[in-house]
Amino acid sequence: MEAHKKLTIGLFGFGVVGEGLYKILQQTPSLNASVKKVCIKNPHKKRDAPKELFTTDRNELLFDPEINVIVEVISESEAGFEIVSTALKNKKAVVSSSKKMIAEHFRELLKLQEETGESLLYEGSACASIPVIRNLEEYYDNDLLHSIRAIVNGSTNFILTKMFEERLDFQNALLLAQQLGFAESDPVLDIEGYDAVNKWSILLAHAYGIIEKPDNILFTGIQNIRLDDAMVAKEKNFDIKLVGQAKKLLNGKVAAYVLPQFVTHNGHLAFVKNEYNGVVIESNFADQQFFYGKGAGSFPTASAVLSDLSALRYQYRYEYKKLYHHGPHDLTDDFYMMVYVSFDDLKYIPKEKFEWIEEWHSGETRKYLVGCIHFQNLKDDKWWKTNNTSLILMPDPIIEDVELRKLKKKSLELAGIV
Ligand code: HSE
């Protein structure tokens, strides 16, 4: 695309994000961008924009030589991928916020960008209004990133806040998240962690050059968390959050997952409530940085799309520096985790798989333990998702050298300290 050329947009989708973008663009004349046509699925739905703007024929957008940018914000990932690939092949720049589509087709999209030389930007696909992708790409354009820890799903954070701080029940909290436009059309994607892991696989690419299908990353959502777990959290002065984490281990490999986690009250992530997202980045010399902002909703997501459109005016494109210039990192499953597990009956828990168990509580109805387990034992066999069991990571859960920890623990025990 030529420098500072007017952006003539073909918009796919007029839902929460599409309509938000349309409204924001009308209030941002300085951008010199306008929507020429909007492609929608249902022509009978009443929409708050001139009728002649809409079409159901995608080719009217994809093959219009005047349209130089396609914005794709629909929820169906396969249809989204078709649209994005055709647009790139037709020499149009693309902005998308479709995390599922991007995460599932990452390698194909990399190849298409290389072959066509066109930009594909997707800041709105992770953490909505927080500019995390561009930050990882540009500010952390080096190999110094130590770890990234984040709340990346607004709906589940909203539900946890409403349930455990405002005593709303799960169904009503979810309903509210849906009404406010935070939840996916299929909210199971939020609740069971699919949306978060899609975002996590995108962030892994920009943080460490790791291209991994979401299915290969260990994840779950908040579906198994119970009120009893929230009570334990309260006793221990913790909050429960759904957290994505990626950490470079001493051997240079990266541990990554998306799981519920206890966070300390004074930690950054405990501060993140409702539909807000938060990202804590640790790097070798800068130490910790915390990014905070709205992670879901119409205008916050549309504002990220708008920022991508603005970046297109100066031909911005992701260089995927960690992947192409620094040598990508590898994921590893070879580390240990400190976990809290609550359950109805001990018979459902494979005790022999734990390195050690350091807390054990046996209530009338609900029991729990805290112990150290190898990550592979969580990945290979999902015993912790069945029989009404719930798994929550302890704060700072990764243990790299279990033998050392065991020895230390033993020496403290011998000295009578623990
Ligand atoms: N359903 C998503 C969320 C929307 O709740 O985070 C923003 O990606």
In which band, very low, low, confident or very high, does the pLDDT at 363 lie, cut at 50, 70 and 90? confident
Q: What is the pLDDT of residue 163?
A: 94
The domains of the chain, with CATH numbers, are 7-125 (3.40.50.720), 336-415 (no CATH)
Determine which residue's CA is closest to atom 7 belonging to ligand 1: 296
Q: For 132-162, what is the HEC assignment?
A: HHHHHHHHCCCCCEEEEEEECCHHHHHHHHH
Closest-lying ligand 1 atom to the alpha carbon of residue 156: 5
Average pLDDT over residues 265-282: 97
Average pLDDT over residues 333-345: 96
* Region of 416 on the Ramachandran plot (φ > 0 left; ψ -120 to 50 alpha; else beta): left
Closest CA to 97 of 199, 181, 10: 199
Closest-lying ligand 1 atom to the alpha carbon of residue 196: 6
Determine which residue's CA is closest to atom 4 belonging to ligand 1: 296
**What CA–CA distance (Å, rounded) separates 99 from 260?**
20
User: CB 403: neighbour CB atoms within 10 A?
Assistant: 8
Please give the model's pTM, rounded to 2 decimal places. 0.95
Type of residue numbered 146: H
Q: What is the pLDDT of residue 4?
A: 62
Cβ of 123 less than 6 Å from ligand 1? no
Cβ of 295 less than 6 Å from ligand 1? yes
Cβ of 153 less than 6 Å from ligand 1? yes
Closest-lying ligand 1 atom to the alpha carbon of residue 183: 1
Q: Which pLDDT tens digit goes with each residue over 54-90? A: 999 999 999 999 999 999 999 999 999 999 999 999 9
Q: Which pLDDT tens digit goes with each residue over 162-183? A: 999 999 999 999 999 999 999 9
Cβ of 190 less than 6 Å from ligand 1? yes
Buried b (16+ CB within 10 A) or exposed e, 131-144: bbbbbbbeebeebe
CA of 308 to the centre of ligand 1 (A): 18
Any idea which residues carry the catalytic annotation? 199
For a ligand 1 pocket test, name from 75, 155, 161, 299 the mutation site with the most ligand atoms within 8 angstroms of its C-beta.
155
For a ligand 1 pocket test, name from 153, 161, 276 the mutation site with the most ligand atoms within 8 angstroms of its C-beta.
153
Determine which residue's CA is closest to atom 8 belonging to ligand 1: 296
In which band, very low, low, confident or very high, does the pLDDT at 53 lie, cut at 50, 70 and 90? very high
Average pLDDT over residues 303-311: 97
Query: What's the full length of the chain, in residues?
Result: 418
